[in-house]
Structure 1
Amino acid sequence: MDALRAALQQQIDQDRILGTVTAVAHRNELIFHEAQGFRDATSGMRLQAHDLFRMMSSTKSITAVAVLMMQEDGRLDIDDPVSRFIPSFKDQQVAVAPPGTTSPEEVRLVPAQRELRIKDLLTHTGGLSSAPMGGLTSVASLINKVERRQGDSLADYVDRLGSMALDFQPGSRWAYSPTDGFDTLLRIVEVCSGLSADVFLEERLFQPLGMRDTAFNVPAAERGRIVPVVQRAGDSWQAIPSMFGDGPYRHLSGAGNLFSTAHDFLRYELMLLNHGTLEGRQILKPESVRSMARNHVGQLFDEVYPDWTGGFGFGLGVAVLEDPSCGHGRGLGTFGWGGAYGTVTWSDPELELAVVSMVQQPGANLTSVIAPVLRDAVSSHRAQG
């Protein structure tokens, strides 16, 4: 793994990142788990392999697995309407307006042609609080006024989301829902299981997988392990506030506020790579993992922003590589997702790899650095027999 170590160090030396923790397993064996660079902008302290990272949207994959667990338990079907579990989502409306409008007065509401389904939220095809992307605008944001209040629980907030207009007819487009879609999904898990999100995930996923450092709220004694979020400012690095604040959190976001380590998320990706089982313990059935890792949206994701999404379909909470020429060396069928501060994880069935890349700075993504090196390493290993 000297080539991987050198490629990552080059990113640090060129001031593209301040530091990173990377973990890789091949054929279920750990072949790389190292911290490189620094953990903050001022102290000169080196990153440690066990440091804690804000996973941001890497949380979404975890939420998708929780939903699939509830489906396996017979508590829901992903084709169920959201209103079955959260009645405020009944009889939603869709916002429409002339192209390019910025005026709320030009927005009108029409009935949704069908109810919003759980699967729509899992695949970002529901139109709930969509982010502008690929030239698509969020018309509904011009009139929607629902905001998270201080002290809100997940139940408090999600119940109010049902009053919001959708950006488009459910299932008709792909547009990323940064927070509200997956917060709604995690609330559905709470309703189905009768447990709070943190208790459910600890009992059903984190503890069985040995993810001992993954949680929404980090214990006070461990908070010193949290890596600060940084950005480049001219010729230096500076710390910046995190999007979700410092916690503790009452609102447990299924979209983005888990903390974790490279060790923990590698175990999670290995479970997915092994069809739902790790070290003899089944977390998901193989058919659930296959559903998660299958493209459910046709060309909707591939076409939304070709420079980024081209060659990919979208599964349940994860992007799915359908054209390997777009994957920077990753194999056909690779599936995974990342977070706003540079956490990226994936499972690659073709190359038999589970990969975790941890950074804490907006916009950082080391996939194009890591993936080609791993492709070369696996190819060399296979050539040697």
Structure 2
Amino acid sequence: MTNKLFRVNATAVLLAISLVSMVPELSAEPMHTPTKMPKAKAESVGMSTEVLGRIDEIMREQMDAGRIQGGATIVARRGKVVHFSTHGEMNVEKSRAMETDALYIMASSAKPVIGVATLMLVDEGLISLSDPISKFIPEFANQKVVVSVKSPKMDGKKEWNKEKKGNKSKEWDKSKRKVSKGKVDEPLQQLVPSEIPLTIHHLLTHTSGLPRRAILRNKGDSLATYVPKLATAPLAFQPGTRFVYGNVGIHSVLPRIIEIVSETPFNEFMQKRIFDPLEMNNTHFHVPREKVSKLVLMEAYKSKGGGGLVSTVEDFLHFEQMLLNGGELFGHRLLRPETVKMMGTNQVGDLFATSGKGVKAQKGMGFGYAVSVTLDPIAADNGRGIGAFGWGGAAGTLHWTDPENDLVGVLMLQQSGSNVGRKFAKIIGKAIID
């Protein structure tokens, strides 16, 4: 394995996870329970074993090229697992082979899980997607929005300073001007009232205008003390008018609303209402001490996700299969079928396909509630059927549900920047023969 991959100490990873999640630790679960989902030969569910075998080939190619150290891949169709492989090493320095229950940092892959938790409360009538955030967190009432105001081009700094001196408004933002070649031609900024309230719908669809990145928090901040601080920052645009991918809405504000409405600590809600019913026995916001050795020692990366969730490839298979089943798995119903369909339906028009802010604009794609949605498989060129929905994380995780093809796929990596995910999905699409 190439030394291009920079490993980090497991203790440091554990510390980072603990700091991000801001939730108290729960008691440990058993180390590993194999998935209860049945296994079958690919041909018995209309897939090609030979084509699926290419998954192992691309993983080997990527490892040989030094782009990844290893990972795990799993595919299920018609409720049966047809491919499950581990690849490479979870600890390169110790030459420790990747294990089936290895723990991966999920980063933004936590977003769909939090989305499901939110929609469960919608199903129960405790919240509505149109509810304003201020209904639960009063600090979000009467928010301001930053708008650009074009200033006439003026020769020289003296002219600009003269105009600035005559404007006593505190909302005049001098810091955003740019003087170039004696002229001021950049927009100035000021604050205006939000035209509509910020809602749960906006948070789930990244159309809120909240800051893309988190405001600095104190070491002792909980969700209860931290989230109100987010309301002090103005919105970047009028809610619902743009798609700008960010973290604080889903990773911080929604968990706080879940706590308030359910009267349960966020991590306890997730454990009892999602992880336990789906037998996601190795999914945690805090890694128990006895499981630290299960963490994949990963390449250091600057996470764009705000989530401290860790999980396994099998646990996330359970999560995606629940969605494919219309909200139910192992005899436990989490969501109504109609709600799952709504989650995987484009909610933002063409805003996601033309965004390019926070995430790369993607042709043929839309965005539902905390998941991207394939609208045009040919334009998207992602190997998935129309209506397939899912998401991924900055560390390299990828997972989706494909209702049209009755299929789910999960890829676990801990190196970002490779193109393994797209290749993985395309192979799966080509493997469908019936």
TM-score tier by shorter-chain length is 0.7 to 0.9
CA contact (8 A) 1:343 1:365 kept: no
Matched, 1:128 2:210: yes
Calculate the TM-score normalised by the size of structure 1: 0.86
Instruction: State the shift of 1:104 in Å.
Output: 4.7
Give distance in 1, aligned partners of 2:384 and 2:301. Answer: 33
Residue type of the alignment partner of 2:427: V
Instruction: State the shift of 1:241 in Å.
Output: 6.5
- Please name the residue that 2:175 is paired with: 103
Matched, 1:3 2:54: yes
- Please name the residue that 1:346 is paired with: 400
- Please name the residue that 2:160 is paired with: none
2:413 to 339, 348, 359: 359
- Please name the residue that 2:234 is paired with: 165
Would the alpha carbon gap of residues 243 and 324 (structure 1) be closer, same or farther in structure 2, given more than 3 Å must change?
A: closer
Instruction: State the shift of 1:378 in Å.
Output: 1.4
- Please name the residue that 2:345 is paired with: 294
- Please name the residue that 2:365 is paired with: 312
- Please name the residue that 1:262 is paired with: 313
Unaligned runs of 5+ in 1: 132-144, 231-239, 245-252
Identity percentage of aligned residues: 38
Give distance in 2, aligned partners of 1:114 and 1:108. Answer: 18
Give distance in 1, aligned partners of 2:285 and 2:348. Answer: 30
Give distance in 2, aligned partners of 1:104 and 1:88. Answer: 26
Aligned length in residues: 349
Instruction: State the shift of 1:164 in Å.
Output: 1.3
- Please name the residue that 2:157 is paired with: none
CA contact (8 A) 2:119 2:339 kept: yes
Residue type of the alignment partner of 1:53: Y
Give distance in 2, aligned partners of 1:81 and 1:127. Answer: 14
Instruction: State the shift of 1:365 in Å.
Output: 4.9
Give distance in 2, aligned partners of 1:229 and 1:28. Answer: 31
**CA deviation string 1:348-373 (max 9, x = no partner):** 11221111101112334522111121
Instruction: State the shift of 1:28 in Å.
Output: 0.6
Residue type of the alignment partner of 1:125: T
- Please name the residue that 1:156 is paired with: 225
CA contact (8 A) 1:129 1:181 kept: no
- Please name the residue that 1:17 is paired with: 68
- Range 36-45 or range 213-222, more displaced: 36-45
Larger Rg: 2
Would the alpha carbon gap of residues 8 and 243 (structure 1) be closer, same or farther in structure 2, given more than 3 Å must change?
A: closer
Give distance in 2, aligned partners of 1:36 and 1:374. Answer: 17
Give distance in 2, aligned partners of 1:260 and 1:365. Answer: 22
Instruction: State the shift of 1:32 in Å.
Output: 1.5
Instruction: State the shift of 1:307 in Å.
Output: 6.1
Residue type of the alignment partner of 1:376: K
Would the alpha carbon gap of residues 155 and 344 (structure 1) be closer, same or farther in structure 2, given more than 3 Å must change?
A: same
Question: Secondary structure of the equivalent of 1:372?
Answer: helix
Counterpart mapping for 1:135-150 below 5 A = 146-150=215-219
Instruction: State the shift of 1:43 in Å.
Output: 2.3
Give distance in 2, aligned partners of 1:296 and 1:307. Answer: 18
Instruction: State the shift of 1:281 in Å.
Output: 2.1
- Range 33-42 or range 165-174, more displaced: 33-42
Question: Secondary structure of the equivalent of 1:25?
Answer: strand
Counterpart mapping for 1:182-221 below 5 A = 182-221=251-290
CA contact (8 A) 1:328 1:367 kept: no
Q: CA RMSD in A?
A: 2.2
- Please name the residue that 2:291 is paired with: 222
Would the alpha carbon gap of residues 155 and 353 (structure 1) be closer, same or farther in structure 2, given more than 3 Å must change?
A: same
Question: Secondary structure of the equivalent of 1:34?
Answer: strand
Give distance in 2, aligned partners of 1:201 and 1:307. Answer: 30
- Please name the residue that 1:79 is paired with: 130
Give distance in 1, aligned partners of 2:77 and 2:384. Answer: 13
- Please name the residue that 1:273 is paired with: 324
Unaligned runs of 5+ in 2: 1-51, 151-172, 178-187
Would the alpha carbon gap of residues 205 and 115 (structure 1) be closer, same or farther in structure 2, given more than 3 Å must change?
A: same
- Please name the residue that 1:236 is paired with: none
Calculate the TM-score normalised by the size of structure 2: 0.76
Residue type of the alignment partner of 2:247: P
Instruction: State the shift of 1:346 in Å.
Output: 0.3
Question: Secondary structure of the equivalent of 2:235?
Answer: coil
Instruction: State the shift of 1:280 in Å.
Output: 2.9
Instruction: State the shift of 1:178 in Å.
Output: 2.4
CA contact (8 A) 2:210 2:248 kept: no
